[in-house]
Amino acid sequence: MQSAVPSALSASGPHPAFTLGLSEMIRVYETCVRIREISKLQLSLSDDMALIAINAEIAAAKSTANQDAFMILANETGKIARQMSAHVAEALEGADGLARQALFGVVRARRLAKYSKGLARIRRSDNLRRVERVAQDLDASLGDLMEGILRSQHEIETTRQALGKQHQRVSRIITYFRIEASRDAEHGSFFRNIADDLNALIGQAQLISRELQDFLKTRSA
Amino acid sequence: MLAKVLFDDGDHKWIVLARDPEKPDSVIDTNEYIIVSHGDALILDPGGTEVFPSVMAAASDTIDLGQISTFFASHQDPDVFSSLPLWLGICPQAKAHIPQIWTGFLAHFGVEYVPSFVPIPDEGGPLPIGTKGKTLEMVPAHYCHASSNYCVYDPHAKILFSGDIGAALLPADAQDLFVQDFERHTQFMTGFHQRWMPSNEAKNAWVRRVRQLDVQMLCPQHGAIFRGEQVSQFLDWFEALEVGMATRYNEAAAQTER
């Protein structure tokens, strides 16, 4: 029989060398899944915006008083919707990868927890060293994975900020729609409705964006 | 966790690990068997993820974990080998003998473990313990209960690892590792075998096959171990038992539909 292990290593509870527990990894996973859900919502909002842009173009074609102005606004709305879709698609791809990475992390953290629990009871120093090596490798791989997750989250945050700028542009367009609508007695109500729809949509997008920001902040912390 | 030597002639040794006191109540109790033969070690039905820390720690008290060269899974159930990724993490060179038809299912634990799999053909065959140890025999026990299922016979120690055959769902406070009173013990086996074993034909074929072997000890994955005369008592009892009881529910449902 080999010599007994140092008391610090045979103590119960998680191994001191391990940095990430299973419950923490599960929280990371849940956050990543939520980020993916939010990204999907953003995608659906940009699709809705593209539809509003088409409606605006149709309304502009019917307008007699301010056709050129309305057409410019409608085209601009469509352009922003397409840019938003591209940004969101990028974010969604990142969020999918994030959720996958986090799920791998949960599996690894669960394994690490089992090794950690077993390590606390191993009395033979040769076996202890063997299992410790495996656990430390797993811990290091979890650390790498977490770094990857944080990098992906940073990229999603950059995309979120870019989307925020698009939201500001849409807010300006809404104002112009309202101004132009007030000058068109015949078709003004069409454009007021379009402005209202866009306004509601941007309100939702901003709320979602803030939620995403909170999630990303929580994770970074 | 209890560790008991069942056989030891100096070069070849059977150890059972059982009755994990830290096992959650919701997890079925399992017996894990370690065979150390001329320096190489084999674990039969290494157990589920939930009991892995206890099994690993108990195994560590009896062997150098580096000795483990071989794993054997009698069938695909999670209590049999959901600890596969954990064990192969510690013993990456070890081979895992797994019923051929279950390999694709067990690959869901991670395709990176597939190179460690050694598929067991339907007819069974030799089970070498590493390169130095004795060779055991994998005995087909298909449909008892899994559709591809094996027992392991050790002609040297005259021990048969029977997997779920002979299993008993013992009360939580039962500590006996060996069957003390066969008649009394049957109450803990009857329901299990009637429900889990689907085919009388398969069961009786297995009984006939095992009767041809010289078995001094019959070691199930759950419950208590049979010794000496109890082995033939068990075979007689099992042969007489009507199994596949759940088909009654199918028949009842079919009658209702009619």
Could you report the predicted ipTM of this complex, rounded to two decimals? 0.91
The reply to whether residue B52 touches residue A118, judged by beta carbons under 8 angstroms, is yes
Q: How many CB pairs lie under 8 A apart between chains A and B?
A: 46
**Sign of the dihedral defined by the CA atoms of residues A27, A29, A35, A37, in that order:** negative
Strands B40-44 and B68-72: parallel
Q: Is the peptide bond before B108 cis (omega within 30 degrees of 0)?
A: no
Q: State the Cα–Cα distance between residues B241 and B243, nearest whole angstrom.
A: 6
pTM of the complete model: 0.82
Output b/e per residue, B163-196; b: 16+ Cβ within 10 A: bbbbbbebeeeeeebebeeeeebbebbbebbeeb
> Residue B29 pLDDT more than 50?
yes
Q: Which pLDDT value is given to residue A156? A: 85
Identify which of B56, B64, B85 has the shortest CB distance to residue A126.
B64
Q: Which residue has the higher pLDDT, A154 or A2?
A: A154
Q: How far off is chain B from A156, nearest CA to CA, in Å?
A: 29
- Closest to A19 in 3D by CA, of A28, A31, A32, A30: A28
SS (H, E, C) A59-86: HHHHCCCCHHHHHHHHHHHHHHHHHHHH
Q: State the Cα–Cα distance between residues B163 and A125, nearest whole angstrom.
A: 32
Phi, psi of B139 (to 5 degrees): -105, 125
Residue of A nearest to B92 (CA): A134
The DSSP line for B137-178 is EEEE-TTSSSSS-EEEEETTTTEEEEETTT-----TT---SB
Q: State the Cα–Cα distance between residues A76 and A80, nearest whole angstrom.
A: 6
Identify which of A117, A122, A130 has the shortest CB distance to residue B66.
A130
Q: Over the stretch A47-100, which tens digit does the pLDDT of each residue have? A: 898 898 898 888 888 877 778 888 888 899 899 989 888 888 888 888 888 888
Q: State the Cα–Cα distance between residues B71 and B8, nearest whole angstrom.
A: 20
Average confidence (pLDDT) over B142-154: 97
Is B167 in contact with B189 (CB distance < 8 Å)?
yes
Of the pLDDT bands very low, low, confident and very high (cuts 50, 70, 90), residue A3 is very low
Q: How far off is chain B from A8, nearest CA to CA, in Å?
A: 17
> Residue B125 pLDDT more than 90?
yes
